[in-house]
Amino acid sequence: MSDSTIAHDRGETTTPLLTTTIDANLQATIERFGDREALVDIAGGIRMTYAEFGAEVDRLARAMLARGYAVGERVGIWAPNRAEWTIVQYATARAGLILVNINPAYRTHELEYVLKQAGISLLFAVESFKNSDYRGMVDAVRDHCPDLREVVYFATDSWSALLTNADQIAPDAAAKVSATLQPQDPINIQYTSGTTGFPKGATLSHANILNNGYFVGEVCGYSEEDRICIPVPFYHCFGMVMGNLAATTHGACMVIPAPAFDPAATLAAVQQERCTSLYGVPTMFIAEWALPNFTAYDLSSVRTGIMAGSPCPAEMMKKLITAGIDEVTICYGMTETSPVSTQTRTDDGFEHKVGTVGRVGPHLEIRIADPVTGETLPRGEAGEFCTKGYSVMLGYWNEPDKTAEAIVNGWMRTGDLAIMDPDGYVRITGRIKDMVIRGGENIYPREIEEFLYTHPDVLDAQVVGVPDAKYGEELCAWLRLREGAEPITAESLRAFCTGHLARYKIPKYVKLVEEFPMTVTGKVRKVEMRTASARELGLGE
């Protein structure tokens, strides 16, 4: 096979990779755009120019150094989105401390595991949020975490007291430490939500996440004129890399609409701050457009944005285009790849934006491999998506065996099933473990979900496999319906699908829900859905 027929592609290299650290890049942005707005935290009532933001970052970096925290030590952060989160992100990078993102949804069991596994010395947290008592959970595990020397709570005396330490150290102390850091140094650990066992800590370098944020922003066409609305969590790459680092590498403004996703607060922020870019997973965009007073919001400033986490439903993309947001890009990736591997371009056509996750990003390499043999497949055949290049993590923190399983000859194995088109665009057809095998037929839930979105009463759809004595597996469709819609039954859904889907692809079971079980990053938890479906239907495991 010639290169044009095998499922292997390389990104363009016209724009060079950034070869500095996160802090060196931020300082360069401050020099160029010091008077421009860097950060707006609407709930916190905080606005900062780049010069002001840089001063806060430096103050916290000096405070941590004065308290004795040394390059390479791990600093945890356990909080929803707020201005201080972003300050901690850049201050740890300036001081050479490895920031450990802790999922705000974690409870004591998971918190204790991460604090111990990463060896966290200093923890930043909020005291409480919604129904979570963070201080209480920290108190419950603190005695079991010998490395943890100090806990600082935002918006309390402990935060103010920590910052006063900055005055005990030379004004240029943090700058001197920053100058000793290298782009390949580890600077961030993100725990990937494992479906079995404990999560693994993907360890990322300055070069990993700085470049990924930069090139994602380049593809979106960012400049210092842009204002990015970031309702996605900072704890995940979507918020802190594709959001914050894409902004600071271009001199753009980071806009935090609320501590956690709120559709009305997000659209209000876009309108108030005249945001030019809007982020979200598909369920966030669906929730925003479903607001009863949606048309009251002025979204005319938005030109671009990023949808990621799961593929974009065609119906949602039509709504974005109708609203004038026709340069939205679709991204695909994983925490272990910093995160983005493929992205649609702002001028791509409708079919590419709804049918694919784009093509390979700059300076990266991708291929579709046979999951068993590892051989690169022809274009048009489904196999495992693998990626290689600057974005691949350094490894899982203190887990060399798991690192060796995931990265083979420099290639990160994603566990996602994908197909590469003749023009290099990639379609994700599901997780290898989400594929349903019914009577020997391989079924990709994504294809069925796309069709179910065309039902006039379906707001959102997810399809999972459930056990079946005759066929091995059958399909169960979880549906969220529009307000006021008549209930959909298995019989009425079968009637809707007949003639459009092959018989074996028509769901046997239907479950109507108000919401899907989700991870904090907005990914649907299909493992949980399969278990619940099988239990409720009395189908066993």
Looking up residue 41, the CATH number of its domain turns out to be 3.40.50.12780
Q: What pLDDT sits at residue 312?
A: 84
Q: 352 and 448: one domain?
A: no
Which ranges of 300-427 would DSSP assign to H, the alpha helix? 314-322, 350-355, 400-406
Q: What pLDDT sits at residue 436?
A: 85
Domain-terminating residue out of 351, 370, 389: 370
Q: 320 and 467: one domain?
A: no
Q: 160 and 60: one domain?
A: yes
What confidence tier does 432 reach under pLDDT thresholds 50, 70, 90? confident
Domain that holds residue 328: 22-370
The CATH number of residue 452's host domain is 3.30.300.30
Which of 387, 105, 394, 345 is closest to 215 using CA atoms?
345
Q: What pLDDT sits at residue 537?
A: 95
Specify the range with the lowest mean pLDDT, choosing from 90-94, 339-343, 482-486.
482-486
Share of the chain above pLDDT 70, in %: 98
Angle between helix 263-273 and helix 282-289 axes, rounded to 10 deg:
80
pLDDT at 194 > cutoff 60: no
Q: What pLDDT sits at residue 311?
A: 74
Structure tokens at 244: 């914050």
Q: What is the mean pLDDT of residues 166-183?
A: 98
Decide if 249 is inside a domain: yes
pLDDT at 440 > cutoff 80: no
Please count the structural domains in the chain: 2
What confidence tier does 520 reach under pLDDT thresholds 50, 70, 90? low
Residue 40's CB is within 10 A of a number of other CB atoms, namely 22
Amino acid at 326: D
Q: 230 and 351: one domain?
A: yes
The helix (H) or strand (E) run that includes residue 147 is: none
Q: What pLDDT sits at residue 106?
A: 86
CA 242 vs CA 79, 94, 338, 477: distances in Å: 19, 19, 9, 32
Q: 365 and 447: one domain?
A: no
Which of 326, 310, 312, 366 is closest to 342 using CA atoms?
366
Decide if 431 is inside a domain: no
Q: What is the mean pLDDT of residues 202-223?
A: 98
> Between these two residues, 87 and 310, which has the higher pLDDT value?
87
Say whether the peptide bond before residue 339 is cis (omega within 30 degrees of 0).
Answer: yes
What confidence tier does 248 reach under pLDDT thresholds 50, 70, 90? very high
Q: 449 and 308: one domain?
A: no
CA 222 vs CA 2, 277, 468: distances in Å: 36, 9, 50
CA 381 vs CA 312, 422, 444, 450: distances in Å: 21, 11, 13, 20
pTM for the structure as a whole: 0.86
CB distance 332 to 357 below 8 Å: yes
Q: 342 and 477: one domain?
A: no
Q: What pLDDT sits at residue 334?
A: 93
Domain-terminating residue out of 329, 353, 370: 370
Calculate the average pLDDT of the chain: 94
Q: 447 and 317: one domain?
A: no
Cα(391)–Cα(428) distance, rounded to whole angstroms? 19
pLDDT at 193 > cutoff 80: no
Q: Is 129 helix (H, G, I), strand (E, B) or coil?
A: strand
Decide if 275 is inside a domain: yes
Q: 211 and 331: one domain?
A: yes
Structure tokens at 178: 């920053």
pLDDT at 423 > cutoff 50: yes
Cα(79)–Cα(84) distance, rounded to whole angstroms? 9
Q: What is the mean pLDDT of residues 123-152?
A: 97
Q: What pLDDT sits at residue 3?
A: 67
Q: What pLDDT sits at residue 523?
A: 76
Q: 366 and 469: one domain?
A: no
pLDDT at 107 > cutoff 60: yes
Decide if 447 is inside a domain: yes
**pLDDT tens, residue by residue, 318-377:** 999 999 999 999 999 999 999 999 999 999 999 999 989 999 999 999 999 998 889 999
Q: What is the mean pLDDT of residues 528-535?
A: 94
Specify the range with the lowest mean pLDDT, choosing from 111-120, 195-204, 266-275, 464-473.
195-204
Amino acid at 396: Y
- Looking at residue 312, the DSSP 8-state letter turns out to be P
Decide if 415 is inside a domain: no
Q: What pLDDT sits at residue 541?
A: 62
Q: 168 and 73: one domain?
A: yes
351: phi then psi, degrees, rounded to nearest 5: -60, -40
Which of 357, 376, 379, 268 is closest to 312 using CA atoms?
357
What confidence tier does 501 reach under pLDDT thresholds 50, 70, 90? confident
Share of the chain above pLDDT 90, in %: 85
Domain-terminating residue out of 315, 347, 370: 370
Decide if 186 is inside a domain: yes
What confidence tier does 444 reach under pLDDT thresholds 50, 70, 90? confident
CB distance 387 to 341 below 8 Å: yes
pLDDT at 187 > cutoff 80: yes
The helix (H) or strand (E) run that includes residue 413 is: strand 411-420
Decide if 468 is inside a domain: yes
CB distance 366 to 339 below 8 Å: no
What confidence tier does 195 reach under pLDDT thresholds 50, 70, 90? very low
Q: What is the mean pLDDT of residues 298-303?
A: 98
**pLDDT tens, residue by residue, 34-83:** 999 999 999 999 999 999 999 999 999 999 999 999 999 999 999 999 99
The rounded radius of gyration (Å) of the Cα atoms in the chain is 23
Q: What is the mean pLDDT of residues 508-517?
A: 96
Decide if 3 is inside a domain: no
Q: What pLDDT sits at residue 46?
A: 98
Q: What pLDDT sits at residue 192?
A: 85
What confidence tier does 196 reach under pLDDT thresholds 50, 70, 90? very low
